[in-house]
Amino acid sequence: MELVELFRGGMKLHEDELRRIWSQLCQGLTLLFERALSTVKVMN
């Protein structure tokens, strides 16, 4: 029983960590995209 609870706790932690990493990744991509767009606008 304890092992199952431990496993569930670990999965929850892993899920939160993945979600945090994913949101950071999305923010980074959005920033890069916006920067690229502004660079293209400056070039034109």
Q: Identity (one letter) of the amino acid at 7? A: F
pLDDT of 2 reads 86
H or E element that contains 8:
helix 2-43
Residue 44 pLDDT exceeds 80: no
pLDDT higher at 27 or 17: 27
Residue 3 pLDDT exceeds 80: yes
